[in-house]
Structure 1
Amino acid sequence: MTTLQAICDQSSDAVADTKEPLQASEHRKRKSWLILFGLIAPINFLMSLDRQAMTLSAPRIQEQFGFSLVEISMIISCVLWTYAAFQVPTGILVNRFGPRICLFVGCLAWSLATILTPFAGSFFSFMLVRLFMGAGQSPDWSSSIVTINNWFAAGRRARANSVLLAFLYLGSVVGGPLTTQITERYSWKISFFIYGIAGVFWSILWLVLVRDHPISPPSPFPDLKDKQSNGWRQFIRLLRSIQFWAIGLHYMCLLTIQSFFLVLMPFYLMQHRHMSYTSMGWLYSMPWFFLYISVFVSGMIADHIFKRTGSLWWARTPMGIIGTLSCGGLVAVGNLIDSTTVMILVFSLALAFSGLSQISIWTSVQDLTRAQTGLLAGWTTCWGNAASGIAPIAMVYLVKQTGNWNAALSLPLVAGIIGALCCAWTHPERTINAENPRS
């Protein structure tokens, strides 16, 4: 009887020991989704609102200050110059100091820049505050990607990325009608004040509530004494990897296409398609709504393919190739359609296909390396946003030279072809080793 009781007691202890890790795992899952939906995603939503506020207010700002189309395009785009330039340094900083501190500083900085924007009164003052905003926004994406990488397992990462991207694009969906209505009723300055104050509030919440890892100690600031400053050495080694270049160039091509929607679409709709300001706000948001839905669906598709096949290549690469090629081609086709309704539908499908590529790229960033995720995210974002800062100005120049949008909107088609080829060379199933990138 004693022996039987001992066996029962041992079995009970074993079951209890098994339950504790399972309960801890479930708690971590719940907490990871709470962090994503409650903090990371809303911060990216606000970043999108802050950035879109200038794009959507630009026609009124241009009218008030007498800026040329080239000047107002530079004011809109220059935020992406510093955003791109600081991506690799901030990626290294995120790897070294952690996403919590880096995103707090960044979100606070760009929110203050948003609040300062209405006080600008000349071309150069607008440029200055926008350049400061871009520098502030630079830690956002690396910090977000590293946080997801730390808190989510590989089998749930595509869905987590889809939520993050969806909230980023939700800012464009909501921002279109919201910003134009605020501008129409009150002033273009009011939206900047509202969005900036909200950003300051969320940056403080992020600092107080988030930790870099599920097992991070509850100290308010991380211990940085033992951090090694070898980020730049790893970066130089990674430059020898074809995959490192391929994923960066793929994102550059994709954001070359998306930059038309991000920067120039309000002018295209109002000047070329003769839409009113408020109508433009609603039509501007429609393609972004398609992209919002697309990234949700694409994330579920990617996780399903990975679950069924166990292959990272099948779960990432075909989506990226199809998405980038289709996105570029549909933009060129949409411009040739006379009907504004059909044109908007085709443009909406174009951005929907870009959702496939976005999921492909950002899950591949997390698949390619674990130790240098922040650096790789910064590198990729650098290429993409450098293109976003330059491509719209090139398109405006082509419009000015040719007198129409045909040549300008053939550029996305070329970018789509090149981007699809780069995607084929990324190979997310082959991990990049910073010590020996060619291995």
Structure 2
Amino acid sequence: MSSENYFPKRYFMVAGTFLLALLLYIDRICISVAKEPISSSLDLSDKQMGWVLAAFSLGYAFFQTPSGLMADRYGPRKILAGIVTIWSAFTALTAVAWNFSSLLVVRFLFGSGEAGAFPGMSRAIYNWFPLKERGVVTGINFSGSRLGAAFALPLVAWMIEDLGWRATFLILGGIGVVWAAGWYLLFRDRPEDHKSISEAEKAFILSNRQDKKVSLAKEKISFRQLSKSKNMWLAMGQYFCSNFTFFFALTWLFPHIKKEYGLETVEAGLYTAVPLIFGAFGNWFAGWLIDRIFKKGDWDRSRRLPAALGFALAAIGLVGSIFMDSAMGAILLLSIAIFGADMTLPPSWAFCVDIGKKNAGAISGTMNMAGNIGAFITALLFPYLLDWTGATTLFFIVGAILNIIAIFLWSKMRPQYHFTEY
């Protein structure tokens, strides 16, 4: 029985990780939509809210590599179920913040909890999917995060208006606990251990996987080993540039568009959902392009070309948005920028699985740590540059320059070499 004669059960695992990414970004972007009522309730300035948004990124960055190491060592089943439970608790605890300091601490811990999500997914993908399907699966997962954010903007805006921001955070926290329970009950770390996977599908996965046999990573890897890898540094550098662009869409785009063009809350949510939907399309397109090029036998180009094209579009969109005088024009150009920025995600995470293999969690976590240092800088730089210059122009120019630098970095990356070899 060939793998084409039935619906592969491994795609149910993709449905689970897609829903995880959806939930991840609904919980993450809620703070941006709730900026005004939280600021009003807790008497916070824009700069203080910048620190609240940045605190998430800092916690998220610091715990990326440790979370990835845990996923490699203990398996994505336990780790993903555990971290979703933890971050859901801190989502709910956001509702009880009473001042700037308490909100800062809760959002830092929330970011720390979310840190293991994508590294855990990377390890699950390495265990479950053939190399030739890696691009599409990664693209589907990341599109979930973008659709989650897009879906959350108008939905959460409506929930906050009707229920209040505190009740909204409590409800979202409860939803996460439900996902964690379902994942732990239904998922297994390896297809070999899942009773509902047919023998034909197991044989197909094992014969087409990057490594025929996988196990949990028992040996420890150190930061010293990672720091010697040229591939690792290049991956970190380009992902820093990517996150600088995208994190703007998650943090300051909503309040910026709302204030700049005098929009109502729900209207602003609908406008700012558009770039995130374009981001989902960018993930799908890049994932398809990766696998199409890979099937032609060009492993290096299958990662580099989608990434370079994405960074070029991101730079063009950011610079073009500076010259727009209407909300519609600005959203159109920023949609191009986010489409491009998200095109860089599937090749970046596929690259981490390529060079990391059974250490894919640690490698992808380290890359994501660097990316979220970029996100941390974005969250702070936007309000400070706006206050300093009185305009957003300089911020968008800085983002465009970083995207151009990333194209050069990708030209030096080698996906066929393990991180210990290059």
For normalisation by structure 2, the TM-score amounts to: 0.91
Kindly indicate whether the alpha-carbon contact (under 8 Å) linking 1:287 and 1:344 is maintained by their aligned counterparts in 2: yes
SS in 2 for 1:274: coil
- Are residue 432 (structure 1) and residue 418 (structure 2) matched? yes
Q: Distance in 2 between matches of 1:389 and 1:397?
A: 13
**Where does residue 74 of structure 1 map in the other structure?**
51
Partner residue in 2 for 1:175: 152
Looking at structure 2, the residues matched to 109 and 326 of structure 1 have their Cα atoms a distance apart, in angstroms, of 36
**Which amino acid in 1 is paired with 2:49?**
I
Tell me whether 1:397 sits opposite 2:384 in the alignment. Answer: yes
Match of 1:231 in 2: 221
Q: Which residue of 1 aligns with 2:231?
A: 243
Matches within 5 A, 1:212-227: 212-216=189-193
Could you tell me which amino acid in structure 1 is paired with residue 235 of structure 2?
Answer: I
Residue of structure 2 in register with 1:357 after alignment: 344
1:312-342 Cα distance to aligned partner (Å, 9 max, x none):
1221101111211320331122022112211
Give the conservation status (yes or no) of the 8 Å contact 1:329–1:412: no
Residue in 2 that maps onto 1:153 = 130
The question of whether the paired residues in 1 share the 8 Å contact of 2:88 and 2:177 is answered with yes
Q: Which residue number corresponds to residue 14 of structure 2? A: 36
The answer for the alignment partner of 1:262 in structure 2 is 250
Q: Which amino acid aligns with 2:284?
A: F
Contact (CA 8 Å) 1:325, 1:419: kept in 2 or not? Answer: no
Equivalences for 1:40-51 in 2 at 5 Å? 40-51=17-28
Q: CA deviation at 1:73?
A: 1.4
- What is aligned with 1:222? none
Task: Work out whether residues 147 and 212 of structure 1, in 8 Å CA contact, stay in contact via their aligned partners in 2.
Answer: yes
Contact 2:247–2:379 under 8 Å retained in 1? yes
Instruction: Give secondary structure in 2 for the equivalent of 1:407.
Output: helix
TM-score (norm 1): 0.88
C-alpha contact (below 8 Å) 2:231/2:419 kept by paired residues: no
Q: Distance in 1 between matches of 2:395 and 2:34?
A: 23
Partner of 2:33: 56
Letter aligned with residue 75 of structure 1? V
> 1:38-437 alignment to 2 at 5 Å?
39-216=16-193, 228-232=218-222, 235-307=223-295, 309-428=296-415, 430-434=416-420, 437=421
Larger-Rg structure: 1
Instruction: Supply the AA of the counterpart residue of 2:376.
Output: G
360-369 vs 382-391, greater mean Cα deviation: 360-369
RMSD between aligned residues = 1.8
C-alpha distance after superposition, 1:360-387 (max 9, x if no partner): 2111112223122111111111011111
Within 2, Cα distance between the matches of 1:352 and 1:145? Answer: 22
Task: Say whether the 8 Å CA contact 1:324–1:416 is kept in structure 2.
Answer: yes
Structure 2 CA distance for partners of 1:433 and 1:404, relative to 1, 3 Å: closer
What is the percentage of aligned positions where both structures have the same residue?
A: 22
CA–CA distance in 2 between the matches of 1:26 and 1:210? Answer: 23
C-alpha deviation, 1:217, in angstroms: 7.1
SS at match of 1:231: coil
CA deviation digits over 1:368-413, x for unaligned, max 9? Answer: 2312211111111101111101222022111111111111221211
Q: What is the DSSP-based 3-state SS (H/G/I as helix, E as strand, rest coil) of the residue aligned with 2:190?
A: coil
For structure 1, list consecutive stretches of 5 or more residues without a partner in the other structure: 1-18, 219-225
The whole-number CA distance in structure 2 between the counterparts of 1:433 and 1:341 is 44
Partner of 1:14: none
Per-residue CA shift, 1:52-74, capped at 9, x if unaligned?
11111112211222211110111
Q: Which range is displaced more, 64-73 or 186-195?
A: 186-195
AA paired with 1:34? Answer: F
**Paired amino acid for 2:178:** F
Q: Distance in 2 between matches of 1:293 and 1:227?
A: 34
The count of corresponding residues between Structure 1 and Structure 2 is 402
Distance 2:227 2:310 in 1: 26
Mean Cα deviation higher: 248-257 or 336-345: 336-345
Partner of 2:191: helix, strand, or coil? coil
Query: Which moved further from structure 2: 412-421 or 119-128?
Result: 412-421
Give the Cα separation in 1 of the matches to 2:240 and 2:217: 31
Q: What amino acid is the match of 1:199? A: G
Q: What per-residue deviation string (whole Å, max 9, x for no partner) do you get for residues 100-127 of structure 1?
A: 1111110000001111111111001101
Cα distance between partner residues in 2 of 1:237 and 1:109: 30
Q: Which moved more, 1:361-370 or 1:106-115?
A: 361-370
Change (3 A) 1:290 1:376: same
Q: Is the 8 A contact 1:395 1:409 kept in 2?
A: no
Q: Is the 8 A contact 1:70 1:396 kept in 2?
A: yes
Unaligned runs of 5+ in 2: 196-215
Q: Deviations over 1:22-73 (max 9, x none)?
A: 47x977x712101111x21111211111001111111221122221111011
Partners of 1:268 and 1:196 in 2: CA distance:
27
Quote the offset at 1:350 in angstroms.
1.1
Q: Counterpart of 1:431 in structure 2: which amino acid? A: Y
